[in-house]
Homo-oligomer: A and B are copies of this chain.
């Protein structure tokens, strides 16, 4: 009997063989969800100039000292400074420039009085807004009564107060979410150098498989795995290509995979990896010469054959991993039961994809939770078992979350999988778990 691998040994072997994808420069929005390769340095101050944080009047503070509603300071309005305006107005003694939020503080001015602290140039009581310039251009002239004093720099955002040139805006390894995309845009970066999303070719194998929507003949079932794995790859951030189901014929499978390699950063198959006489993935890929292609000059570029293993785990015992073709493309061959395939994806493919994307951590977080429900769970000793669970996080009353097993251990119970939001991770040595016991849970969120 060959060696039985632990889950961790198999995963570590995969991760040891996989390198992050080469960086690529992408337009900012195409880089969303990707990982920065280098620190991004701020090229220039943000904001690039002192500017107003309010709609109001740019003034000299001495001119409004002691101003009140009863005894307003009366200033001459010398014009408008709109955001984006490049006009050169200088505010002198006894003068005010009407200024909009974000507009540059004009020379001479020391602070901004919000429009609500003035009469808005109307000669009446306190204003609550300015009339639109296009309707009332006269607002940019005349007089304004200021009802409250301001101190120097009040309602002014200083140049460089958001970020200073030469500082690190975002560190290498940062994942670009909306706020990070926004910061890059704000500092003028139209592109970002990131690890691209990996392209994942997904195929299921089995002569019994029929596409959903097509009628079933005797002995046939619908192909679920290529859909589960494609959706899971996309959810993990990859760009999946679903090839669909390939019949149990080694030469067809080999040729299909070889054709697909051109667009694959990683290949995932399901089925055909166990101990049966028709286990076509094993048959097609375990040969040393599977991807040599017969050409002498490609001989050096080819990779090791795929290694098929028995893991001390349930579900998901039969697994395979290798690097194939001239680019040594990683291939993970998962078992064919839908639940086994999905659990295997979570445990092995997702960390592989996150490694390709340069994302940390590559593993999902785990939490501890109390086992809920009325029944004890049994687990085969010597095997690490992953049951499907319905996890409830800690709440107001519970300081620990709870988890309930759904659907039992059967690896074909895809209906139960669809009700689960977590995996319950039961160690190899544990044979039995009673309600109330603490267990390790992997939330699938």
Contacts and interface: CB of A to CB of B under 8 A. Distances in A.
A221 interface: yes
Given A139-B277, A169-B418, A185-B224, A212 B28 contact: yes
Interface string A78-107: 001011111000000000001011111000
A181 interface: yes
A101 B187 contact: no
Nearest to A49: B219
B227 A213 contact: no
Interface stretch (A123-131, A261-269, A290-298, A426-434): A123-131
A283 B83 contact: no
Main secondary structure of the interface of A (DSSP, over half): loop
Interface string A281-302: 0110000000000000000000
A101 B281 CA distance: 14
Interface stretch (A6-14, A228-236, A325-333, A374-382): A228-236
Given A157-B412, A208-B84, A228 B133 contact: no
Given A130-B275, A213-B189, A276-B100, A181 B29 contact: no
Given A100-B278, A216-B188, A418-B170, A208 B178 contact: no
A279 interface: yes
A222 B84 CA distance: 11
B101 A55 contact: no
Contact of A216 (B48, B214, B219, B415): B48
Interface string A122-166: 000000111111111001100000000000000001000111000
A116 interface: yes
A344 interface: no
Contact of A275 (B49, B128, B226): B128
B274 A183 contact: no
A182 interface: yes
Contacts of A101: 274, 276, 336-337
Contacts of A235: 32, 177-178
Contacts of A414: 46, 162, 179, 182-183, 186
Contact of A116 (B29, B212, B275): B275
Contacts of A386: none
Nearest to A82: B278
B162 A413 contact: yes
A256 interface: no
What 3 pairs across the A-B complex have the smallest Cβ distances?
Answer: A190-B213, A84-B208, A182-B228
